[in-house]
Chain A
Amino acid sequence: MFRALQQLHEFATSYNLLLLLEGGARTLVLSAAGCVCGFVLGFALAVLRHTAAGWLLPARILGVVYVEMFRRIPFLVTLFLVFYAFQALGLDVPVFWVAVASTCVIGTAYLSEVVRAGFAAVPRAEWDAAATMNFSLLQTLRFVVVPQAWRVVVPPAFAFFLSFIKDSALASQIGVVELTFVGKIFNNRGLMPAIAFGSVLIAYFVISYPLARLGARLEGRLALSRAH
């Protein structure tokens, strides 16, 4: 116990705290990039897959292949794939940006399926009805589809966001100094695991708890919005 207190005192240097903060920031950026970029691109992909025009067929097939492929490959393998893809293209990209690109790739594949399930909850004929009233595709999405798909999309989307924060730890495997990596550094420096990984645990909690609260609040609001 005494040793722990002593180590805690040792641990609380500005250097260590800064490292922890930096690692936390990297984890946050990695997850946020995957979630935001993944949601935007995933949404676009879901829209593409819902179109019916003949000339878009090749694009739809590519979309299906993309989604089915990256949902089946472990995140770690995707990291290596992206890493070597950049190398093959002769691009010297820092590992952090390799990891960011990977989270976007994965996020897009998963979240497009989440959004697609939301679209599927709106009957095809309601899209037709909107079309007969001359809504453009964007208007149909904004006024007819999204308001109804939202409640189907939000719960699994937030579940994905939260699990994604944890998955971003794999980026440490290609050398990105994010939270998990920072924990290992502390541990290697001879700090007690309880302190080394305890601090990391708290940092993960600080990042994900507000997000979980936001998700719960949104779900609550969605449930209320129909109870007029």
Chain B
Amino acid sequence: MTPLLAAAGLRKSYGPLEVLRGVDVDVARGECLVVIGPSGSGKSTLLRCLNLLEPISGGRIVFQGEDIAEAGRRAPEIRRRIGMVFQNFELFRHLSALDNIALAPIRVKGEDRRAARERAQHLLAKVHLPDKSDAFPDELSGGQQQRVAIARALAMEPALMLYDEPTSALDPETVGEVLQVMQELAEEGSTSIVVTHEMGFARRAADRVVFMDAGAVAHAAPAARFFSNEAPERVARFLGKIEA
């Protein structure tokens, strides 16, 4: 089966600094791919490159059969099908939760206002916040904001969701509610690439795990095997440190 998205030999440099040195990753439809690795290993940059927030320096990214790095003018049209969730939520602070979710469908997709708001309400229910539609971002906890941000990304009906350390900026007590929503989405068959330090989530929800180190994929394996005792020494050392 051809993967939904496949990056091959992906390179990214900022001046002389080489952040990605030929990364190969792919994700199949319905799969949850978790990317782990030490800080500075290029995980976030990888995600930003995959949806073209950063221009890549080399390599190929094929999404739904199209090379998106080469797409030029069609790039936005392609990127519309990739949703992204940020570490710091990045909700629009001047809009209520509901308006945050409905804005892009109305303005970018040209959806009917009533239908879009109705769908936004459904999405809020899906992330377990049915009664927060009128709340503004600064009236919500971090975990609630992140769940609104997930709903906002889902509103564009993406074929692929990218999560960039979605729980790193959260209070420990709200991490669980966000991970639960992400796990439910994964179980429903939504395709996602998740950069995270939450090994518990990786064990529960990931189909495959990729370990990045120094701008390249150091190890990749199905989740069960990844967390078994056969993992390479470097990975085991990282896991030992993070789970200690």
Residues of A within 8 A of B175 (CB): none
Contact between A144 and B92, CB atoms less than 8 A apart = yes
Residues of A within 8 A of B79 (CB): 132, 134
Which of A82-90, A121-129, A172-180, A205-213 is the contact stretch? A121-129
Complex: how many Å from CA A107 to CA B194?
48
Residues of B within 8 A of A125 (CB): 86, 88, 90
Contact between A134 and B90, CB atoms less than 8 A apart = no
- Tally B residues with Cβ within 8 Å of A: 25
Q: Is B103 an interface residue (CB 8 A)?
A: yes
Segment 127-169 of B: residues with Cβ below 8 Å from A? 134, 136, 149, 152-153, 156
Min CB gap B120→A, angstroms: 13
Complex: how many Å from CA A133 to CA B134?
21
Q: Is B76 an interface residue (CB 8 A)?
A: yes
Min CB gap B149→A, angstroms: 8
Residues of A within 8 A of B90 (CB): 123, 125-126, 128-129
**A133's contact among B93, B94, B152, by CB below 8 Å, is which?**
B152
Segment 104-162 of A: residues with Cβ below 8 Å from B? 123, 125-126, 128-136, 139, 143-144, 147-148
Residues of A within 8 A of B94 (CB): 147-148, 226
Residues of A within 8 A of B51 (CB): 132
Contact between A135 and B92, CB atoms less than 8 A apart = no
Complex: how many Å from CA A118 to CA B153?
26
Interface centre among B79, B82, B93 (most CB of A within 10 A): B93
Interface size class of A (residues with CB under 8 A): 10 to 19
Contact between B53 and A135, CB atoms less than 8 A apart = no
Residues of B within 8 A of A144 (CB): 92
Q: Is B126 an interface residue (CB 8 A)?
A: no
Contact indicator per residue, chain B 43-56, by CB within 8 Å of chain A (1) or not (0):
00000000101000
**B83's contact among A132, A147, A228, by CB below 8 Å, is which?**
A132
Contact between B53 and A143, CB atoms less than 8 A apart = no
Segment 171-228 of A: residues with Cβ below 8 Å from B? 226, 228
Contact between B76 and A134, CB atoms less than 8 A apart = yes
Residues of A within 8 A of B152 (CB): 133
Complex: how many Å from CA A62 to CA B97?
40
Contact between B84 and A139, CB atoms less than 8 A apart = no
Residues of A within 8 A of B149 (CB): 129
Complex: how many Å from CA A135 to CA B92?
13
Closest to A151 in B: B94
Interface centre among A125, A139, A228 (most CB of B within 10 A): A125
Q: Is B17 an interface residue (CB 8 A)?
A: no
Contact between A126 and B92, CB atoms less than 8 A apart = yes
Q: Is B104 an interface residue (CB 8 A)?
A: yes
Q: Is B108 an interface residue (CB 8 A)?
A: yes
Contact between A131 and B92, CB atoms less than 8 A apart = no
Q: Is B119 an interface residue (CB 8 A)?
A: no
Residues of A within 8 A of B83 (CB): 132
Closest to B51 in A: A132
Min CB gap A72→B, angstroms: 31
Complex: how many Å from CA A144 to CA B86?
16
Residues of B within 8 A of A123 (CB): 88, 90
Q: Is B107 an interface residue (CB 8 A)?
A: yes
Contact between A133 and B156, CB atoms less than 8 A apart = yes
Contact between B84 and A135, CB atoms less than 8 A apart = no
**B80's contact among A128, A134, A148, by CB below 8 Å, is which?**
A134
Could you write out 11 A-B pairs with CB less than 8 Å apart? Answer: A125-B90, A128-B53, A130-B92, A131-B53, A132-B82, A133-B152, A134-B76, A134-B108, A139-B107, A148-B94, A228-B134
Excluding A129-B86, A133-B108, A136-B76, 20 further A-B contacts by CB distance (< 8 Å) are A123-B88, A123-B90, A125-B90, A126-B93, A129-B84, A129-B90, A130-B92, A132-B82, A132-B84, A133-B80, A133-B152, A134-B76, A134-B108, A134-B156, A135-B108, A139-B108, A143-B107, A144-B92, A148-B92, A226-B94
